[in-house]
Chain A
């Protein structure tokens, strides 16, 4: 039985929205999504080799959320996220080599092999960190927004969270405080309807998540998370509102194509209907955008091939880098338990 229908307006709407955007912007958005998809697929295809000894949470099927959203951010804006890190990290500009090194447990991984795939960060591009504890990064991001408020900066902090994260009390503690102080923060909830194998109807009464946030007083949006332009346009409004006026909550409806973690689909285990997956795959965010690009004449087979080759080269080089990087040494184990200096980023 299909429990969760695609609720968006489909490819025609994407095409209609595309007519309002510049070609370069559209190409950039498509490139970001395609790059995330290809990187995720490449990671997945090598995962069985057991060289990446880290639990992965693939974002395949959900690329439009991070790609569309992050395009509305300034490089100096901050992003935090939960365990499903890859797409958020890449969309914010996180370094691919450092990400792969982290997956391969190398000393030069972005977290020095202390965090693994659930803890990606790249402070040089404002990717501030993530938490493997559901909802754990939500107050951290709120605190980052508090910093901006105290320092009178115009920086916006964003936190990506899953639909299960709103079942934790700290979500609402954070939103309550953020609204109280009018902090510059956007909460982006990627509602993919499942927490591991538990459908949302087993976990939450049928009230839209964005309505709950609205009840707290936040400006809230419900978005087709498979439509990269809808995502981008709402993100622009949300980020502008957060920067000037205060907290925004976005609920983006999307679907994860793979199992909760690891490689491959696990629908056959029975917690969701394969027909449901097929339905959502027919609304593939990357393919939808590609078709729009073709019909607008912004992309053709030759230019798409060039794009793909560029990404493939980058992926190969990043794998080479990670595979040939050094492992940590024993002396690294107890390093950085305590901070000796003041390491926060300034500016």
Chain B
């Protein structure tokens, strides 16, 4: 379990956080959000397999049971569908559950409750019931996680009305988006990435929220627009920073922060300047976030395009477990840089 972990650690150390202020890790930022909400709102409670074990969800929930008691922070049976429905029922009756999963793969067992129930109840009840539910999970790339432990399933959930899908990429966002998710009156799925957990960043103290459906520019540039979220966005930033230094290629890099709701306006705004779009995502390219953003632009902003849209997601294959195959499977800053060069040189 060491090979990738070392890489993540290295990355976290070498990257200097931008801006001024208090620097903490991604994990600490998430925990801070939970502590603030548990203190502020007695309706909030945390649950999930292992939230109170020594690992404590990568450290995110470590120590919270001691702080807030076993009634509000508790381990669950290995019953994902049941527990998702139970959280939904609790949310329907006035509580605000935050339900943790180690990996998004396990959410697949809960699709009945997520897709048939949690996301539809407000609509089916003609607005009489709300479901303020947060479901948190972290994508497990690498470490030999393989086909059933490293899936990024945001694409499968993207078309479900009634859900919100949040995919942070920085400690600042992780905290602000989690706070926003807990305050939201709808089921919110937060899809984190394990490779971001050790990242450092400037994070203000206290409660602040980041609005859903509003993207943010992480870089401003001329030659193309790169759109993405989460860990792939970090890869794209590494790629464009390198290209800028070496070849003077610059890009608008847009972090969507939430893929549902999706900020169309910021994408169109940038495309009006660059005319070229690259979409990156941690999930499969087919039918997922890449496909949706691409289609949206083709449908509503075709006139702004000077070149074909490109997407970098995962190939139409399950994620392999083995180290060598993994290297072929996942995008890297190098493969992203390669695509950017092709796009800019008009190849």
* Interface of A toward B, CB cutoff 8 Å: 78, 80, 109-115, 119, 121, 123, 128-129, 131, 133, 136, 138-148, 150-151, 169-170, 173-174, 176-177, 180, 335-346
Contact = CB atoms under 8 A, between A and B. Distances in A.
Contacts of A113: 126
B121 interface: yes
Q: List 3 tightest A-B contacts by C-beta distance, closest first.
A: A143-B89, A139-B85, A173-B82
Interface string B61-86: 00000000001100011010111111
A61 B130 CA distance: 35
A199 B128 CA distance: 37
A344 B94 CA distance: 5
Given A136-B116, A136-B117, A342-B185, A142 B131 contact: no
Contacts of B17: none
A121 B123 CA distance: 13
A173 B79 contact: yes
A139 B86 contact: yes
Given A150-B95, A169-B81, A176-B77, A115 B125 contact: yes
A336 B123 contact: yes
Given A339-B127, A341-B130, A147 B89 contact: yes
Interface string B192-232: 00000000000000000000000000000000000000000
A141 B82 CA distance: 11
B259 to A, nearest CB: 15
Contacts of B79: 170, 173-174, 176-177
A180 to B, nearest CB: 7
Contacts of A150: 45, 71-72, 90, 95
B118 to A, nearest CB: 9
A133 B125 contact: no
B162 A337 contact: yes
Contacts of A115: 124-126
21 contacts: A115-B125, A121-B129, A123-B128, A131-B116, A133-B112, A133-B116, A139-B83, A142-B82, A143-B88, A143-B89, A144-B89, A144-B90, A151-B95, A169-B81, A177-B83, A335-B127, A336-B127, A337-B122, A337-B161, A339-B122, A341-B185
Nearest to A148: B93
Contact of A143 (B90, B124, B185): B90
Contacts of A109: 126
Nearest to B116: A133
A81 B72 CA distance: 28
Interface in B84-132: 84-95, 112-113, 116-117, 121-132
Given A115-B124, A136-B112, A337-B123, A344 B85 contact: no
A143 B77 contact: no
A133 B122 contact: no
A99 to B, nearest CB: 14
Given A180-B77, A338-B122, A344-B129, 12 more contacts: A111-B124, A128-B93, A139-B82, A139-B84, A169-B81, A170-B113, A173-B77, A173-B81, A176-B79, A337-B122, A339-B130, A343-B128
Contacts of A138: 85
